[in-house]
Amino acid sequence: MFDDFINSGIAFGRTTYGLVFRPYETYRRIIDRADTWELVYLAVLGFAYFSLASIVRVASFRPFLLTKEVSVLFVAAVATYALVVWLVWKVGGYFGGKGTLRGVALGWGYTLIPTACWFFMTSLLYVLLPPPRTTSVAGLAFSGLFLVVSATIFFWKLTLGYLTLRFGLRLDLVRILLVVGVVSPIVAVWSWGMYRLGIFRVPFV
């Protein structure tokens, strides 16, 4: 068991590298051969972000408030992940998908890497360069750079999401768009609920 955990950690590192430089080949390997232990490392990455975000959101160091904040964020993120995976699997199956729940869970889990990168970036920038930001040349240049980086990460996220449905459920582009059309409104309502509860301003999807 310990050996499996270590080997999965090594595989997680290689896979994360592959998501950047060889996403197509990497996703084939994820769906066909990835170990479910790799989801543990994704959970640790998420927990690390929520710990950082809680420190940023809670102005003073209060262990009880920090623990509560981290717990709420982490549970909400896990629930969101489970909902999306279940919806993608069920709706994809309705449209003729032939994959497995395991494959979809692993594939969608790795789409959270770009999500975590963006959230880490915004939290660190909030600490290093807190708002309000000026309309000077430097301020506008920073805002422009932030938008470019955010758009790049978003495109990366979309690519990994497409590959999850393509390889995880063996769907063509038309059926992928149909699945997205059904799942997106449900996830949007769920995200709005998270926002109304004060958990996420931007959904951790």
Average pLDDT over all residues of the chain = 86
168-191 pLDDT per residue, tens: 999 999 999 999 999 999 999 999
What's the burial of 61, exposed, middle or buried (CB within 10 Å: 0-12/13-18/19+)?
A: exposed
| C-beta separation of 15 from 30 below 8 A | yes
The domain segmentation of the chain, as residue ranges, is 2-196
- First-to-last alpha carbon distance for the chain, in angstroms, is 30
pLDDT tens by residue, 16-30: 999 999 999 999 999
Average pLDDT over residues 90-111: 93
Residue range 101-121: mean pLDDT, rounded: 92
Contacts of residue 150, Cβ cutoff 8 Å, sequence gap at least 6: 118
Interatomic CA distance for residues 205 and 112, integer angstroms: 7
